[in-house]
């Protein structure tokens, strides 16, 4: 297993190992972006609720739910890749 946020340029492994490494990297990035998006959407939907229109509030509440789903998808990708690499702790 190599780095967890980017693929090294000099990787000389089989295609199966490379595919699982990409799954690990993609899962980590999805989790990182989804967590940031959840934080932004929660702050905007609950912190500024008096100054935003109802349509904007609905958008940010919906964004919170969608990003939570993306966070779970990223975690699943990460777990699949880590299981392939022999990790037992998730």
Contact criterion met (CB below 8 Å) for 67 and 17: no
Per the listing, tokens 């990790």 go with 87
pLDDT band (50, 70, 90) for residue 87: confident
Contact criterion met (CB below 8 Å) for 23 and 77: yes
Mean pLDDT over 64-83 rounds to 96
pLDDT band (50, 70, 90) for residue 54: very high
* pTM of this structure: 0.84
What is the domain partition of the chain in residue ranges? 30-84
* Residue 62: both structure tokens together: 């919906």
């Amino acid at each position: 297993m190599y780095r967890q946020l980017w693929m090294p340029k000099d990787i000389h492994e089989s295609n199966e190992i490379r595919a699982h490494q990409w799954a690990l990297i993609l899962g980590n990035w999805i989790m990182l972006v989804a967590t940031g998006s959840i934080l932004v959407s929660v702050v905007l939907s609950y912190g500024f609720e008096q100054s935003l229109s109802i349509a904007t509030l609905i958008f940010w509440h919906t964004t919170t739910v969608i990003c939570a789903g993306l966070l779970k998808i990223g975690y699943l990708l990460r777990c699949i890749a880590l299981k392939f690499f022999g990790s037992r702790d998730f």
